[in-house]
Structure 1
C-alpha cells in the first residue's frame, strides 16, 4: 500500500516542525518587524497551491487534536443543525475551559466520523471554518498561532516552508 504524501508528512510532522522551529521563529520575527506588503499575496498563493494538492480527509489532525473555542453563535447554529436545544448541546458536548470558553468535552471532536468527515460540516464552529488561518488578510497578525499550527497541520508546515524560500 502506497502512503500518501500528507500521511507521510503527518507521521513525521512533530519532528519536522520542532527541527524547523528555530528558522520559523526567525522568519516570523522578521515578518513582524517588516510587515512586507507582498506577504498576504505570497501567503495566499502558497495556501492555494498547497491546498490544491491537500486532501484534508486524509488527515483531520486538527479535528483529532485541537479543541476549538465554541461561541454562542456556534452553539445556536450547531443546536439548530442537530435539532436540539442549545442547553442540551452544552450539556452533551461542551465544557468550560480554563479561559472561561466553551470547548468540546472530548477529543477527537465528537462530530468527527470514522472516515474523517465532519457530521456537522455545514454548521461547524467558526474556529473550524477559519482553520488553519492561512487564507486571510494581515497574516502577520496570526504568526504566533501559525507557529503552533505548523505542529498540527501538514499543509501549514508546507506553506511556512515555502515562505522561508520567499523571504
Structure 2
C-alpha cells in the first residue's frame, strides 16, 4: 500500500488531554483529509509506537476502540484541499517557462526541472509545496490518556492510514 500522509506531532497536552498532529498529503491519491475517529486512532497508535505501525490497515484495529479513546477530532489550518493536480502542473510549467525552459526547446532540462519540482511538492519543500501541498492540523481530544506518555513532541512518520 502506498504512503499517503506525512504526520508530525506538533502539540500534546495532559490537561485537557489532547494531541495535535500536522498532516500533509505525500501522494496525489491521498484524497480528502479523513477526519473519522478510526483514522485519528490509527495515527494516535502510530505516534505512540514511534513510527507507522504498518502499511497494513488491519494491524491497528480501530473498531470500537477509537470511540473509547478519542472524544473528538478538530480540524484547523486546512490548506490546499482538495488537491488540484492540474493547477500544480500549470504552476510548475509556468515557473520553468519563466526560467527559459520549454518542453519543446529544452526537453531534457525541462523534464529534469519538472521532475525535481514535482518531487519537492510531495516532500513538502519549496514554493510548489507551499502553494499546493494539502496540509492540516488535527487535534485529537482524548478520553483515554494511556498512550499520551509514549508520544514524543516533534515525532514524524509516514503512513498509509486512510478513512
Larger radius of gyration: 2
More helix by share: 1
Normalization by structure 2: what TM-score?
A: 0.26
Specify which structure has the higher proportion of strand.
Answer: 2
If asked which structure has higher relative contact order (CA below 8 Å, sep 6+), I would say 2
